[in-house]
Structure 1
Amino acid sequence: MTLAAHPRPQHAPELRAAARHIGRRRFLTVTGAAAALAFAVNLPAAGAASAAELDARRIDTDPFTLGIASGDPLPDSVLLWTRLAPAPYQPDGGLPAQRVTVHWELAHDENFTRIARRGAAIAYPEFHHTVHVEVGALDPDRVYHYRFRAGTWISETGRTRTAPSPAGAASSLTLAAVSCQAYTDGYYTAYRHLAQDDVDVVLHLGDYLYEYAVNSVGGYRNYTDRTLPALYNRETVTLEDYRLRYALFKSDPDLRAAHAAHPFVVTWDDHETENNYAGDTPENSVPPEEFLLRRASAYRAYWENQPLRRPQQPVGPDMQLYRRLTWGRLAQFDVLDTRQYRSNQAYGDGSQIPGPDVDDPARTMTGATQERWLLDGWRDSAALWNVVPQQVTFSQRKFDLATPSRLSMDAWDGYRASRRRVLDGARAAGIENLMVLTGDVHVGYGFDIKDDFDDPDSATLGTEIVATSIASGRDGTDKPANWDTYMRANPHMRFYNGRRGYVTVALGQQSARTDFKTVPYVTTPGAPVTTAASFVTEVGEPGLTPA
C-alpha cells in the first residue's frame, strides 16, 4: 500500500487549528455541543496521561464484547484490531482510565499449533482501550488465524490473510462490497451470510455508523428481550457519543462474525460524521468551527474503531483515508474519500435539475491532491483490473424522463467536471478494465460507465457496481416503484434491485463475475440469502453482460 502526502484541507487553517488546539479559556466561552467537543478533541496522545497500568487479571468480565477485526492486507503484513470493553454500553467501557497489556498471536492454523508471530500491545484509555497491531515479516498470499488475550480472557479466533507479492501473478481474487448499516432499520443478517461466504477481502464503502438517535427497542429491531440505555437516544455530536455508537453497532453478532471471518478495507461516507456534509460545510447552519470540532470527534472515533494503520490516524479534523492497495499484478485498489475534500453541493444536497455549477471545473469531488494521486496511480499501474472503492454513485442517474432530468447533487452528477477529469485521466493512462465500487443509495445498481452518458452509443469506459445496504432502508423490494422509470431514463443501467444484501466480485485473468446477493427481509432476523442477478465483465470489454 502506498500513501500520498497529506492533502491540504479545503477549510481555513485557523479553523483546523481551532479543532486541534482549542484551549481552556476558549473551552469556557464556547457553548452547547462545542464546549463538550473542545474537551473531547483535546485528549492527549497515547501514553501521555496513563502512567498507571491495570493488571489485566483483575478484569472479571469478558472484555472482548466488540469482537476482533483485521484490515488492509499487505504482502508482508496484516493489521489486527480489538477493543477492551467489559461493559460496552457504558461511556468508559467498564474499565478505569488505565492502560492494559493485551497479548496477541498469529498462527498458520486455527488451533494455534504453528505460531507465526506473537507479541503484546497496550490498550490506552486515551484511545478508548482500542488496539491496532501491525504484524510484519509475514509471507505473501497466506491465510493466518489470530486471537487476543487480556488477563485470563481469550478473544474469539479471527481469520485474515496477506496479499500476493507485487510482482506475483495472482490468478484470482474474490471481494465482497458492503455499505450502509443503519442499526435502527433492521438486523445485519447479510453479514451472517457474508461471514460464511468464500471471499478474500471485504470492502466497506461507507455509512458504517449512523449519527441518528437509537431508541430503547432498537428502532425496527423492536427488541423485547433487552432495553438499550437512554444515552443512545440522541444524535451523535461528542466524542463520547460516537464511541458509544460504535460500541452499539459493533456489538451486533453478525457484524462481529463478518469481521472475524474476513479482512476489511474501509472507507467512510457521510453518516460516520453527519448526513451529507461536504468538507467543512455541515448539513445545517452550525458554524464551520463548531462543525470541525464535531468532525474531529467523528474521525477520531472512526480510526479507533476500525482496522486501520498508523498513516490513517487523524490529526484533529483531518484524516488521510484515501490509500492504495494491490493484489499482485491482478488488481490495484484506489480507495477514495469523497467527503473530506469535496466542494459544497450545488443547489442543495438533494435531487435537482442541474445548473451551470455542476460543470464548474473549480468544483471538485475529491480535492485536487487526491485527484492527482488517483490519476498518477493509474499512470503507474501495472494491474489488470483497476478497482476504485468509493462512496456515491459515479455514473449518471436520471430520476425521471423529463428533459432536463433531476440528478443527485450529492453524487458525482453534481460534480460533472470532476467526473470528466477522472474519466479523461483513466483513458489517458490506458486503463482498460476500470471498475468502480459504490455504496450510499440503499439499492443495488449495475452501470456501464459511458464516455457520454447522454449518448448510449458512446464508448463504455468502465463498470460500476453499486452495493445495496446491509440494513438501511429496511426490507425493501426486488422491484421498486421507480424501477421502470429509472431503467428507461438510464439505458446504461443494467441492473436495479431494492433489497438488502451485499455484492461479490470474482476477478480473474479473463473476466470478472459479479453476484448481487440479497435477503428478503431484515426487520426480523434469520432471512435466507439468494443471488438476485449475476453479470460478467470480460477483460478488455468494460460493461456488464448477464451471466
Structure 2
Amino acid sequence: MENSTRRKFLTVTGAAAALALAGTLPGITASGATTVDTDRVPGYPFTLGIASGDPLPDAVVIWTRLAPKPLDPFGGMNDRPVSVRWEVAEDERFRRIVRSGNALARREESHSVHVDVRGLRPWRHYFYRFHVGGHTSPVGRTRTSPTAHQSVPAVSLAYASCQAWYEGFYTAYRDMAKQDHDVVFHLGDYIYEYGVGADGGLRKQDMAVDFQRETTTLDDYRGRYALYKTDPDLQAAHAAAPWIITNDDHEVENNWAGDISENNDPVAQFLVRRANAFRAWWEHQPVRTTQLPTGPDIQMYRRFQYGDLIRFNVLDTRQYRDDQAAGDGIKAPNPDSLDPNRTITGAAQEKWLLDGMAQHSARWEVLAHQTAIAQLDTAAGPPVLVPMDTWDGYVASRKRILGGAQDRKVRNLVSIAGDLHRSVASELRPDYADPSSPVVATEFVGTSITSGQDGMDLDAGGQTILDENPHVKFGNFQRGYVRCEVTPREWTADYRVVDKVSIRDGKVTTRAKLTVEDRVPAIHVH
C-alpha cells in the first residue's frame, strides 16, 4: 500500500469499510510530526482565499487553507503542522482588533484552519485575516447574526447552487461580491464529482490526469475543492459576507440517496466514498467542528435565527432519504412516490423541523435546502410526469411538512432551493392532487451558477412547466443567483441572471422581481 499520508482507496476491503463506519478515515491518521512551523511555508499560502460562515449573535467561523501549490497533493505543503495567526477587527485597517489568536493547520486536515471566533457583538460587521510565514491573507468581511428576540427591520441575503467549474465562468459570484448581503446561502453542488476534461471544458485550462477522472478517493475530493476554490470570483464572494452551506448530491455522487449510490455499488464501498466526500467538504468550508463528519455521517441540518424577523432551517435531503421511487428519472406518480411511509428528510429531521415550526420564533420561517418542493409536471397535455429526485418523488414528505406548517399556523413559510438549473417560483400546496388544498407557502428555486452553460430566457421545458403547473408563477433558464430583501411587511426576491457564462465578462441583470406579502402566501411578479 502507498504511503499512509496519501493512500488511494480505489477498492474497499472489510477493514476499510469498518474504518469509515468507525469514523477513522482512510489517509487521515494523525501526523507523527511534532515540529510546528511558525514562519516557513513554501510559497504564498492563501491561494484558495478565505471565508467565514455559520454566524451566531456572538460568533462566526473564519476559514482558510494553506496551499502554496493548490492543485498538488496536500496543496504543496509538507507533513508538519503550521501555526497560523488570525485577527478579527471592527475596521478594515485593523486598528481596532477585538479578537486574535493562533490556530494549528494540520496535514490530516489538509492544512485547513477553522476558527470559531467567540465573544463578538450581535448584528455587527467585522473584518478578519490570517498571517503565516511572512504572508498575509486577503481581508474578509463578515457579520454576526442578531440576538434571538432582537427587532430587525430588514435582512439582505443571497443564495446560489450548482457551480460546475468546467461549464462556465463564475460571473454571478463577481456580481454577488459587489452587493451588500448580510448572509449568503449555498444550497448544494458546490463541486461536481465528474472529471473536468483535459482542457477544463469551457475554461480551456490544461488539467492533470487526476482531475480528469470521477472523484472517489479523499485525494480526489480534496483536489476538486481546491480547483473550484482557485476561482477569484468565488473567492471574492466568500470574502464579502458570511456563508451558510449545505450540500446536495454532487458533493458525493449524482443522485445518491442515503446509503444507496447512483449505480448501486456495495454499501460498504459507497460509505467509504461518502466518508471521503464529507471529510473534504468539511475541510474546505467555513463550518464548525459540530459539522465535522464521523466517517460517512455528518450533522448537516441546523438552524440560524435572525432576530424576530427570520429563522433559517438548513435541511439535509440526501443523507436520510429513501431511494428514489420507480428507479429515479421522470415518471408518472406511482405507488412508490405516493407511499405514505416514504421520506426525503428522515423521521428525526422531520420532527426537528415541525417542532421548530410550533415555536413561532420569527415572522418568516425559511427552509433553506436542496431541491423543489413544488409539483413540477414536465409533460405537455393530460399525462403527468414529474421528477422522482425532487419532493415529487416523496409526496408524503411534502404533505407532512406543508400540512404540518398549516396545522401549526406558521405565519409565513418560504422555501429557497436550487438543483434544477433553472429558476422556478411557485406557490406551495400540501396536496396537489386535491383541488381544495390551500396555498400555505411560497418557493423560490434559484438557477445554477454555471451548470447547464449559457441557457436562454425560457426553453421549451420551462414553457411546459409554466403551462402545466398553474401554481408556478415564474420561470427562467439562464444562469445566475437570487438576492432577497426581507422586511416585516414583505419578501422581495430579485432573480439576477447572466447573459453568458461561456465568456469571462458576461452581463448580469435583474430578470424579475418577485414579492410575497406578510401573511399572504402568493407570489407577485413585477
Please indicate, yes or no, whether the TM-score normalized by the shorter chain is above 0.5. Answer: yes
Could you report, residue by residue, the CA deviation over 1:447-505 in whole angstroms, capped at 9, with x for unpaired residues? 01124424666421111000100000000000112233211100010110000000011
The answer for the alignment partner of 1:415 in structure 2 is: 394
Aligned ranges 1:48-447 → 2 under 5 Å: 48-223=30-205, 227-447=206-426
Could you tell me how far 1:32 is from its partner in structure 2?
A: 3.9
SS of the aligned residue for 1:58 comes to coil
The answer for the alignment partner of 2:473 in structure 1 is: 494
Could you tell me how far 1:310 is from its partner in structure 2?
A: 1.3
User: Does the aligned pair in 2 maintain the 1:238–1:297 contact within 8 Å?
Assistant: yes
User: Does the aligned pair in 2 maintain the 1:505–1:513 contact within 8 Å?
Assistant: yes
SS of the aligned residue for 2:237 comes to helix
Distance in 2, Cα, partners of 1:257 & 1:279: 34
Instruction: Assess, with a 3 A threshold, how the Cα gap between structure 1 residues 455 and 488 changes in structure 2: closer, same or farther.
Output: farther
Distance in 1, Cα, partners of 2:11 & 2:429: 45
User: Does the aligned pair in 2 maintain the 1:166–1:326 contact within 8 Å?
Assistant: yes
Could you report, residue by residue, the CA deviation over 1:327-381 in whole angstroms, capped at 9, with x for unpaired residues? 0010001000000000001112210112111121221100000000000011113
User: Does the aligned pair in 2 maintain the 1:87–1:94 contact within 8 Å?
Assistant: yes
Aligned ranges 1:3-18 → 2 under 5 Å: none
- Larger mean CA deviation between 433-442 and 49-58 belongs to 49-58
Could you tell me how far 1:57 is from its partner in structure 2?
A: 2.1
Distance in 2, Cα, partners of 1:524 & 1:45: 39
User: Which of the numbers 511, 514, 526 marks the counterpart of 1:535?
Assistant: 514
Could you tell me how far 1:51 is from its partner in structure 2?
A: 3.5
SS of the aligned residue for 2:74 comes to coil
SS of the aligned residue for 1:191 comes to helix
The answer for the alignment partner of 1:25 in structure 2 is: none
Distance in 2, Cα, partners of 1:339 & 1:43: 21
Could you report, residue by residue, the CA deviation over 1:43-102 in whole angstroms, capped at 9, with x for unpaired residues? 499894344234242224100000000001100001001000011111121111111100
Distance in 2, Cα, partners of 1:484 & 1:126: 49
The answer for the alignment partner of 1:34 in structure 2 is: 12
SS of the aligned residue for 2:247 comes to coil
Residue correspondences, number: 517
Which amino acid in structure 2 is aligned with residue 217 of structure 1? D
User: Does the aligned pair in 2 maintain the 1:277–1:339 contact within 8 Å?
Assistant: yes
- Larger mean CA deviation between 192-201 and 53-62 belongs to 53-62
The answer for the alignment partner of 1:15 in structure 2 is: none
Distance in 2, Cα, partners of 1:454 & 1:174: 35
Instruction: Assess, with a 3 A threshold, how the Cα gap between structure 1 residues 489 and 86 changes in structure 2: closer, same or farther.
Output: same
Could you report, residue by residue, the CA deviation over 1:265-291 in whole angstroms, capped at 9, with x for unpaired residues? 000000000000000000003101100
SS of the aligned residue for 2:401 comes to helix
Structure 2 residue 491 is matched with structure 1 residue 509 = no
User: Does the aligned pair in 2 maintain the 1:99–1:129 contact within 8 Å?
Assistant: yes
The answer for the alignment partner of 2:3 in structure 1 is: none
Distance in 1, Cα, partners of 2:460 & 2:381: 17
Distance in 2, Cα, partners of 1:210 & 1:188: 15
Could you report, residue by residue, the CA deviation over 1:496-540 in whole angstroms, capped at 9, with x for unpaired residues? 000000001111011111100000011111112100000110000
Distance in 2, Cα, partners of 1:290 & 1:242: 16
SS of the aligned residue for 2:172 comes to helix
User: Does the aligned pair in 1 maintain the 2:462–2:477 contact within 8 Å?
Assistant: no
* TM-score, normalised via structure 1 length: 0.91
The answer for the alignment partner of 2:428 in structure 1 is: 449
Could you report, residue by residue, the CA deviation over 1:241-294 in whole angstroms, capped at 9, with x for unpaired residues? 000000000011110000001110000000000000000000003101100000
Distance in 2, Cα, partners of 1:50 & 1:521: 49
Instruction: Assess, with a 3 A threshold, how the Cα gap between structure 1 residues 409 and 46 changes in structure 2: closer, same or farther.
Output: closer
Which amino acid in structure 2 is aligned with residue 399 of structure 1? T
Instruction: Assess, with a 3 A threshold, how the Cα gap between structure 1 residues 56 and 217 changes in structure 2: closer, same or farther.
Output: farther
Distance in 1, Cα, partners of 2:10 & 2:64: 32
- Larger mean CA deviation between 87-96 and 239-248 belongs to 87-96
- Larger mean CA deviation between 240-249 and 353-362 belongs to 353-362
Distance in 2, Cα, partners of 1:130 & 1:467: 30
The answer for the alignment partner of 1:476 in structure 2 is: 455
Structure 2: runs of 5+ lacking an equivalent:
1-6
Distance in 2, Cα, partners of 1:94 & 1:37: 27
SS of the aligned residue for 1:486 comes to helix
Could you report, residue by residue, the CA deviation over 1:183-232 in whole angstroms, capped at 9, with x for unpaired residues? 11011110000000121111100000100001232112223xxx222210
Identity %: 48
The answer for the alignment partner of 1:24 in structure 2 is: none
User: Does the aligned pair in 1 maintain the 2:25–2:275 contact within 8 Å?
Assistant: no
User: Does the aligned pair in 1 maintain the 2:399–2:431 contact within 8 Å?
Assistant: no
Distance in 2, Cα, partners of 1:417 & 1:457: 17
Distance in 2, Cα, partners of 1:60 & 1:336: 40
Distance in 2, Cα, partners of 1:83 & 1:52: 20
Which amino acid in structure 1 is aligned with residue 192 of structure 2? Y
Could you report, residue by residue, the CA deviation over 1:163-191 in whole angstroms, capped at 9, with x for unpaired residues? 01111001110110100000110111100
Distance in 1, Cα, partners of 2:10 & 2:488: 57
Distance in 1, Cα, partners of 2:78 & 2:27: 17
Distance in 1, Cα, partners of 2:200 & 2:389: 28
Distance in 1, Cα, partners of 2:235 & 2:194: 22
Distance in 2, Cα, partners of 1:31 & 1:146: 37
What's the RMSD between the two structures over aligned residues?
Answer: 2.0
SS of the aligned residue for 1:92 comes to helix
Could you tell me how far 1:42 is from its partner in structure 2?
A: 3.8
- Larger mean CA deviation between 236-245 and 455-464 belongs to 455-464
Distance in 1, Cα, partners of 2:400 & 2:217: 37
Which amino acid in structure 2 is aligned with residue 34 of structure 1? V
Instruction: Assess, with a 3 A threshold, how the Cα gap between structure 1 residues 45 and 131 changes in structure 2: closer, same or farther.
Output: farther
Could you tell me how far 1:116 is from its partner in structure 2?
A: 1.1
